[in-house]
Structure 1
Amino acid sequence: MAVLLALTGSASAPGTSRTARLVQDIGRRYAAHGHEVRHLDVRDLPAEALLSADVADPEVAHAVGLVARADALIVASPVYKAAYSGVLKTFLDLLPQYALRGKSVLPLATGGSPAHVLAVDYALRPVLTSLGADVAQGWFVLDRHITVAADGSVTLAPETREALAPVLDRFGEGLPTGARLAAA
């Protein structure tokens, strides 16, 4: 079974972030297939340590260690000004040059407009590739297609659920044991 790190770059609190909720929901699906899923919300790391690139800070060092120990990652961010979040960029800049070498990475982005769909391929994918990742087909999800219930459960619009299922399946098939999620 794989150790999967779900890395979220939303500046919003996890309880209010649709991006974080979407990633938590996807993580539960992989966990149901026997994978160990760990979550890291970059916004929870100490801002001063992030901004000063203090990799000796215990929380930052722990986060970098989570990346190193993961077999694969989901890297998700809301789109701000046609790119992924600055807090995610700051964290990715702290990683060693080839920190993602040999790791499958699924890039995901959320946003309010279809005009931001290219942020996955033109902003996030190049950075992940430069870190050595085997980047899977990424996906963009419109905010309005994500509904979060009072209990925290996530419902995707049917067209989004149908389009995202094969992306998650392909990524899951690359993990040890090849988890298919279409039925989940």
Structure 2
Amino acid sequence: MVTLARDIGDLRRRAWTAAATVVDPEIPVLTIEDLGVLRDVTVTDGHVEVAITPTYSGCPAMSMIALEIELALAREGIRDPKITTVLSPAWTTDWMSDDGRRKLRDYGIAPPVAGGGRRALFGEQQVACPQCGSTATELLSEFGSTSCKALWRCRNCREPFDYFKCH
């Protein structure tokens, strides 16, 4: 019995590790683990199921992410996995890792401000420029290069930048 539990635990760890290498097709510096999109990996009767949560309902990247998870698992010898999209609870930027936030900033995208969603409703949001760090920034458009991002500009260095919106 101990061997069976150990084998299941090993299979789950291998599957999680493989799935965690999948990158977001829209922001290739982030893995789905960095984003918090990778929610769970379970093993039942030797079969692997991976649960993922989209950053928002209707996210066009989810089908590509599911396919990439299947390919990553296949490279590890894990066949016929089940990829399940979980919509509840809804994804939140709180699920992003600190490393993911750093990667966004290094890539030139301002990471979401912790607890910023409520402040944004009242126009009080302060977003730091990922180029120079200044908070003297302004919103140009609620819509950036993808649905997850808004377009901002720094008043100090004058550079436009994407901001990963809070959810």
TM (norm. structure 2) is 0.29
| TM-score normalized by the length of structure 1 | 0.27
More helix per residue? 1
| Greater relative contact order (CA < 8 Å, ≥ 6 in sequence) | 1
